[in-house]
Structure 1
Amino acid sequence: MFQHNMFDSHNFLLDMTRKTPENELDLIRDDEFETKSGTDIMEGASGDDQDPNKRPKKKQYHRHTQHQIQELESFFKECPHPDDKQRKDLGKRLGLEPLQVKFWFQNKRTQMKSQHERHENTQLRNENDKLRAENIRYKEALTTATCPNCGGPAAIGEMSFDEQHLRIENVRLREEIDRISGIAAKYVGKPMLNYPQLPSLGGNNIGHQLGEMFTTTSTGGDLLRSISGPSDADKPIVIELAVAAMEELIRLAQTGEPLWINSDNNDNVLLNEEEYARTFPRGIGPKSLALKSEASRESALVIINYVNLVEILMDVNQWTNFFTGIVSKATILEVLSTGVAGNYNGALQVMTAEFQVPSPLVPTRENYFVRYCKQHGDGTWAVVDVSLENLRSTSVSRCRRRPSGCVIQELPNGYSKVTWIEHVEVDDRAVNNIYRPLVDSGLAFGAKRWVATLERQCERLASVMASNIPTGDVITSPEGRKSMLKLAERMVMSFCAGVGASTAHTWTTLSGSGADDVRVMTRKSIDDPGRPPGIVLSAATSFWMPVPTKRVFDFLRDENSRNEWDILSNGGLVQEMAHIANGRDSGNSVSLLRVNSGNSSQNNMLILQESCLDSTGSYVIYAPVDIAAMNVVLSGGDPDYVALLPSGFAILPDGSSNAENSNAAGGSLLTVAFQILVDSVPTAKLSLGSVATVNSLIKCTVERIKASITCENA
């Protein structure tokens, strides 16, 4: 009797959710917004119009022409938040007043917001229908339940609801594993896996059986260099693990309190470990006492189509480039399934990756994992990672990736809603003390940093694809603009690859550099067209400053204050020749700078600079470029053959309370890095004098920055 009352109460609550005020948004018609696309003009009242017996005149309504609406719609897709100059230019071209253009964009954004809300309401109703159907299924299952001891019919009271739910879930998981196995056999060309040999998913042993894969070993070896794809004997376990990880990711993304709670000192959403243990009592492997647990969740609306985002996540090269400040290296070891129906639904990839913070004082995190992509209904996808490190007895696991990834929901007009989960167990004892608060806050490796980077890169991608955003006089064609942005992207990737403690490059730390706080490395460049040939020296250092990150960022990207710290400017004035907006924030931009110096050797040199900012950090990265080479780029030529040696700054919050708010009080963690060609002959030997020169350069730059910002902050 209690069970039936519980189901009836649940159905009543589901019916109530269909009557919430949010669903009233469905009553709003699209025509309402379209009628506001024109301009309402009230005629001024004349002296005769003051007669109280006369009815007031109605507003004159001027409807936009079809051509004007098409042009406005096209511009909105590229730039939904035009500035004053863009509105003025657009109005002049279409014969509209700037105020009319402004009102049209306001109404259009309101319409978009309403459509998103209606879309979410529809999804909620669908979820309610699914829950109602599940309740009916559970009722039927309870009426046909069998006794676990004798196998005969069982009364309702003899079997718990949780136990019967687990039995149903286990059957569904088994069907899912069989389906994935068939896909893998079809695309990889292997025989069907013999699943009767797999450990059973039923009962109370799943946590122990899968947990045997996660026994921490203590043998040596370089994880990312020595690991290989899974053996045929391991592949059934890999598939089973991927399916279980997907189930856990979906539940983590959809469940709120008390599983997820707000942290005390910032707005991060963190995992309640005790509730997690209760929610997933048979989770994927036991918790390691030797490793520290980190888990966070973040959601956002991003301007990218869900199909494109799934492709970026499943293409290792695109994924590495898109998250270049986080992913320093990634490799696909084996593809167990390419997906079905021409997309990534059901795709399985065994991978290695290295995750970094842009500082030599924070060790990288290396993982060996399986990535699984699955479509959940129309317009909803999920991509999950889960560690496989201990499938090899020779591997060392300093970082273990529990089910992590993102759930992507399709929204109208090319937008997507992303819910990101990051859940790892890690040994972070090697993190430098000044970076420990940042790492502990989750802003270094957590979900907030992934989502903030995703938002910024989606805006950058929209800027690259745009064709109607005004540009400077120097850039005369869309091809030239895209070529310049591509060159800047390569510059940023090269900087991020060399500034952290990554093993992705062939840099070698030099002994006797003369400074404990400056890391000096060298590499030989021979056949790389994107680097000048010879011996390249890199120097990097990180330090704390008692100044908010936004103030440091604005100072370093401002060409008017550049001569206060930049050795390249030689005390001369720096002028911005071209500027490309790279996002909604004015700090996200690519610039071409000219140094007006008395030194004739610098007259043929320009400076390419990209500055980028999000809620978890910012960069100012630059490189000297030859005028002749830039003329080729600005005319739409291939930028891959322009030699670059990027230098610049990575600016992160110090992890204190509210430090992720770049305008709030708090300190900054500043990393300064240089790459310099010290000898154009690759076979030459590096002299101690060159090392001393680079050390002196970076120390001088740091002292100038500290003096200028401290004086400005006083």
Structure 2
Amino acid sequence: MDVGRLQPLVMAQNKHNENLPHGRYDERDKIKSGGGNQEGTSRNPSQKKKRYHRHTLHQIQELEAFFSLCPHPDDKQRKELSRQLELEPLQVKFWFQNKRTQTKTHHERYQNSKLRVENEKLKIDNMRYRAALSNSSCPNCGGPSMMGEISLEEHHLRLENAHLREELDRVAAIAAKSMGKQVNHHLLSSPSPVARRPLELGVEFGELGEHGESSNDIFRSICGPIEADKPVIVELAVAAMEEMVTMAQMGEPLWTVSLDGTTAILDEDEYFKTFPKDASPKPSGFRCEASRESAVVTMCHINLVDIFMDVNQWSAMFSGIVSRASTTEVLSTGVAGNYDGALQVMIAEFHLPSPLLPTRESYFARYCKQQDEGTWAIVDVSLDDLRPVPTARCRKRPSGCLIHEMPNGFSKVIWVEHVEVDDRGVHGLYKLLVNSGRAFGANRWVANLDRQCERFASAMTANVLVGEVGAITSLDGRRGMLKLADRMVTSFCAGVSASSAHTWTTLSGTGGDDVRVMTRKSINDPGRPPGIVLSAATSFWLPVLPKRIFDFLRDQNSRKEWDILSNGDAVQEVGRIASGRDAGNCVSLLRNANSVQGNMLIVQESYTNSTGSFVVYAPVEIAAINVVLNGGDTDYVALLPSGFAILPDGTAAQGGEVGPGGSLVTIAFQILVDSVPTAKLSLGCVATVNNLIVCTVERIKASLTCESA
């Protein structure tokens, strides 16, 4: 009997195949027969010999063939097999049970052998890692490295170690599943990011990465504090807290009103009179930049403290200002249950959304202290005097915020930002804005905080006007869409900044607007499609007020005027979530009006405040949008965001003496140029993206009746 004759038996298997016990049975067990005596003691040797049956080679071959197609035959199939092979049904049943047990045993032995091999690899890698740590040295002083320092070689060892652990956990999970056992979750480690290898490209560009490395990267050049420095850091933090709280509460003459009447500016002479102990001279080439701002935000004061003291939450909340941040050491966690007295040593990089403006790096201590019931203070102060950093261009004097509890879950925040900075490398387009103090000042921090609190309140609001056109009323859907849009904007800001993690290459544009490009390779990167991604950005000035540009770009009816990829088609808004008080602050779902049957939608977030505006968008598959709207995980939805950042040019802060107010616009595209990560990037792809961004700029200028600069 061949396999073809057995196929109808396999197809006849119903959905309720019995789950037979996994104990081992032998075909030589007792076979019940009609009227036979079942007591072995009453039978003679000849009768006992008849109970044993050895299958013929033909029977075994046919049973093996059927087992490969159906390991769990039902009663009807077993009876048909027994008839065709001249066996008892119980013989067939026991043969299949024994075969399943034998197969599982072989599988377990194979998996155990593989686990032993992986375990040995992991042990060897751990030994290498420990040896590297014991022999490492500080790149600055040449002495033994402190905990928290990771050399490049050690970094690769750690990634390899994590990769081996992940593989071991995966195999262990498979083995445990096959044996029907529960996996011990405390033995499993979370998947680690895949190490990004250098690109092999036809065109040599720097690699774009949110955690990249460069020779002058402050994140690699700074070591953690040594033991002798820790008492000094504590004293410095306590003194900084006292100074910052005093500055937050004082008025004139320490603070004066800016020319536009919106911001409090520090009087340096009064500052040194008030705080003579901190009258250390500014480094050569540095200038003072200080401001104060206050606002009432829709978030509980305790939640704000928790966010500020968690570096990941803090950098995510201020993604438009903080490009990278990390905590090098925690000197104190505070009292049990809160952050009262918590002290951390941190590194952060601050940016504006433009590849033209250099970032500001700072190495500082962050101290949190409860002032009285319902009032908390958080202060940052630079540690450059303890560990000078040659590449640092920004020194924080005591800066931070006072947080006061208010009724109904609101909080009043008073923000003080006081730095000394070397901004001689600032591009000419941004000099007025930076010199005004609005680029990195207190007003920008408070405006970003207010925006994020509004978004959080919107995500938690269950009461939505059902009659609103395109309103997304599902609470899970609203939260999912807001989370997806927040990740999109964060990725846009990180990808367009001049972070030291990025290497931009300049291409000559038209009209003096140079385009900067960079590439990255995406492999096993959740949230991004695999392949070669090209990021292109340019910044330019327009003699138009920011509000006019913002309204033009977010208007669905005018999109066809600038969006070359829309092919001149209009777009329709099919979904909308309000994310702030301003009507322009929202997350939208857009669809091409002439492509109703298409499988793509556009997710767009637009928001505006006094310090800047953004319009960021990304195409997303409809299937992924449906998953998000139904409460699914948003982290694995692939996004390549593009969009616009619109900033005031700084003339208003100068009293309008240099002419009418204008805007600084940054446009950026992220495009997947090849779905194969190992492909080489051609010059044709670069030229295409360059032309795309240049043509978009020209269309915007033409639509806003602007002449080319």
DSSP-derived class of the 1:307 partner: helix
**Which residue of structure 1 lines up, in the alignment, with residue 176 of structure 2?**
none
Q: Residues of 2 paired with 1:659 and 1:462: CA distance?
A: 35
Answering whether residue 484 of structure 2 is matched by residue 520 of structure 1, we say no
How much has 1:470 moved relative to structure 2? 2.8
How much has 1:224 moved relative to structure 2? 2.1
Q: Residues of 2 paired with 1:679 and 1:402: CA distance?
A: 47
For residue 555 of structure 1, what is the amino acid of its counterpart? F
Which runs of no fewer than 5 residues in structure 2 stay unpaired? 1-146, 148-214
Q: Which has the larger radius of gyration?
A: 2
DSSP-derived class of the 1:376 partner: strand
DSSP-derived class of the 2:296 partner: strand
Answering whether residue 588 of structure 2 is matched by residue 591 of structure 1, we say yes
TM-score by length of 1: 0.66
The one-character-per-residue Cα deviations of 1:168-200 (angstroms, maximum 9, x if unpaired) are xxxxxxxxxxxxxxxxxxxx9xxxxxxxxxxxx
Q: Residues of 2 paired with 1:617 and 1:647: CA distance?
A: 17
Query: Equivalences for 1:83-98 in 2 at 5 Å?
Result: none
Which runs of no fewer than 5 residues in structure 1 stay unpaired? 1-187, 189-219
Q: Residues of 2 paired with 1:237 and 1:704: CA distance?
A: 57
**Which residue of structure 2 lines up, in the alignment, with residue 354 of structure 1?**
349
For residue 218 of structure 2, what is the amino acid of its counterpart? L
Query: Equivalences for 1:189-200 in 2 at 5 Å?
Result: none
DSSP-derived class of the 2:704 partner: helix
Query: Equivalences for 1:593-632 in 2 at 5 Å?
Result: 593-597=590-594, 603-632=598-627
Answering whether residue 575 of structure 2 is matched by residue 578 of structure 1, we say yes
Is the CA contact 1:513–1:692 (under 8 Å) kept in the aligned structure 2? no
**Which residue of structure 1 lines up, in the alignment, with residue 640 of structure 2?**
645
How much has 1:433 moved relative to structure 2? 1.0
Is the CA contact 2:334–2:343 (under 8 Å) kept in the aligned structure 1? yes
Is the CA contact 2:349–2:360 (under 8 Å) kept in the aligned structure 1? yes
How much has 1:286 moved relative to structure 2? 3.2
Query: Equivalences for 1:96-495 in 2 at 5 Å?
Result: 221-283=216-278, 285-393=280-388, 395-470=390-465, 475=472, 477-495=474-492
Answering whether residue 557 of structure 2 is matched by residue 560 of structure 1, we say yes
How much has 1:655 moved relative to structure 2? 0.3
DSSP-derived class of the 1:568 partner: helix
Cα 1:267–1:394 shift into 2, 3 Å: closer
Is the CA contact 2:217–2:500 (under 8 Å) kept in the aligned structure 1? no
How much has 1:267 moved relative to structure 2? 2.2
Q: Residues of 2 paired with 1:283 and 1:246: CA distance?
A: 13
Q: Residues of 1 paired with 2:454 and 2:386: CA distance?
A: 39
The one-character-per-residue Cα deviations of 1:217-273 (angstroms, maximum 9, x if unpaired) are xxx943222212100011011111000100100110111100101123442210000
The one-character-per-residue Cα deviations of 1:472-516 (angstroms, maximum 9, x if unpaired) are 657452111111111101100000001110134xx4434667777
Is the CA contact 1:536–1:677 (under 8 Å) kept in the aligned structure 2? yes
Query: Equivalences for 1:493-504 in 2 at 5 Å?
Result: 493-504=490-501
For residue 591 of structure 1, what is the amino acid of its counterpart? S
How much has 1:658 moved relative to structure 2? 5.2
Q: Residues of 2 paired with 1:255 and 1:518: CA distance?
A: 46
Q: Residues of 2 paired with 1:396 and 1:405: CA distance?
A: 23
**Which residue of structure 1 lines up, in the alignment, with residue 543 of structure 2?**
546
Q: Residues of 2 paired with 1:705 and 1:632: CA distance?
A: 35
Q: Quick one: which of 672, 679, 691 aligns to 2:667?
A: 672
For residue 595 of structure 1, what is the amino acid of its counterpart? N
Q: Residues of 2 paired with 1:629 and 1:484: CA distance?
A: 11
Between stretches 521-530 and 472-481, larger displacement belongs to 472-481
Q: Residues of 2 paired with 1:284 and 1:524: CA distance?
A: 49
Is the CA contact 1:385–1:405 (under 8 Å) kept in the aligned structure 2? yes
DSSP-derived class of the 1:606 partner: strand
Q: Residues of 1 paired with 2:591 and 2:693: CA distance?
A: 22
Cα 1:593–1:375 shift into 2, 3 Å: same
Is the CA contact 1:245–1:284 (under 8 Å) kept in the aligned structure 2? no
Is the CA contact 2:259–2:653 (under 8 Å) kept in the aligned structure 1? no
Q: Quick one: which of 647, 651, 656 aligns to 2:651?
A: 656
Query: Equivalences for 1:678-697 in 2 at 5 Å?
Result: 678-697=673-692
Q: Residues of 1 paired with 2:472 and 2:582: CA distance?
A: 21
Aligned residue-pair number: 488
Q: Residues of 1 paired with 2:379 and 2:665: CA distance?
A: 33
How much has 1:633 moved relative to structure 2? 1.1
DSSP-derived class of the 1:233 partner: helix
Is the CA contact 1:389–1:396 (under 8 Å) kept in the aligned structure 2? no
For residue 538 of structure 1, what is the amino acid of its counterpart? S
For residue 355 of structure 1, what is the amino acid of its counterpart? F
How much has 1:388 moved relative to structure 2? 0.8
For residue 559 of structure 1, what is the amino acid of its counterpart? Q
How much has 1:686 moved relative to structure 2? 0.6
DSSP-derived class of the 2:490 partner: helix
**Which residue of structure 2 lines up, in the alignment, with residue 176 of structure 1?**
none
Cα 1:246–1:407 shift into 2, 3 Å: same
Answering whether residue 526 of structure 2 is matched by residue 529 of structure 1, we say yes
Q: Residues of 1 paired with 2:599 and 2:477: CA distance?
A: 20
Cα 1:532–1:659 shift into 2, 3 Å: farther
For residue 489 of structure 1, what is the amino acid of its counterpart? D
Q: Residues of 1 paired with 2:606 and 2:281: CA distance?
A: 43
Higher helix share: 1
The one-character-per-residue Cα deviations of 1:539-587 (angstroms, maximum 9, x if unpaired) are 0000100111000000000001000011221111100000100011101
The one-character-per-residue Cα deviations of 1:32-86 (angstroms, maximum 9, x if unpaired) are xxxxxxxxxxxxxxxxxxxxxxxxxxxxxxxxxxxxxxxxxxxxxxxxxxxxxxx
**Which residue of structure 1 lines up, in the alignment, with residue 9 of structure 2?**
none
Work out the percentage of aligned pairs sharing the same amino acid.
67
Is the CA contact 2:506–2:514 (under 8 Å) kept in the aligned structure 1? no
Cα 1:511–1:551 shift into 2, 3 Å: closer
For residue 533 of structure 2, what is the amino acid of its counterpart? V
Q: Residues of 1 paired with 2:395 and 2:291: CA distance?
A: 15
Q: Residues of 2 paired with 1:613 and 1:394: CA distance?
A: 36
The one-character-per-residue Cα deviations of 1:138-165 (angstroms, maximum 9, x if unpaired) are xxxxxxxxxxxxxxxxxxxxxxxxxxxx
DSSP-derived class of the 2:486 partner: helix
**Which residue of structure 1 lines up, in the alignment, with residue 629 of structure 2?**
634
Q: Residues of 2 paired with 1:652 and 1:232: CA distance?
A: 44
**Which residue of structure 1 lines up, in the alignment, with residue 154 of structure 2?**
none
Q: Residues of 2 paired with 1:395 and 1:428: CA distance?
A: 15
CA RMSD, Structure 1 to Structure 2 (Å): 2.1
**Which residue of structure 2 lines up, in the alignment, with residue 710 of structure 1?**
705
DSSP-derived class of the 2:686 partner: helix
Q: Residues of 2 paired with 1:660 and 1:550: CA distance?
A: 19
Q: Residues of 1 paired with 2:523 and 2:482: CA distance?
A: 25
Answering whether residue 684 of structure 2 is matched by residue 699 of structure 1, we say no
Q: Residues of 2 paired with 1:391 and 1:577: CA distance?
A: 56
Is the CA contact 1:653–1:667 (under 8 Å) kept in the aligned structure 2? yes
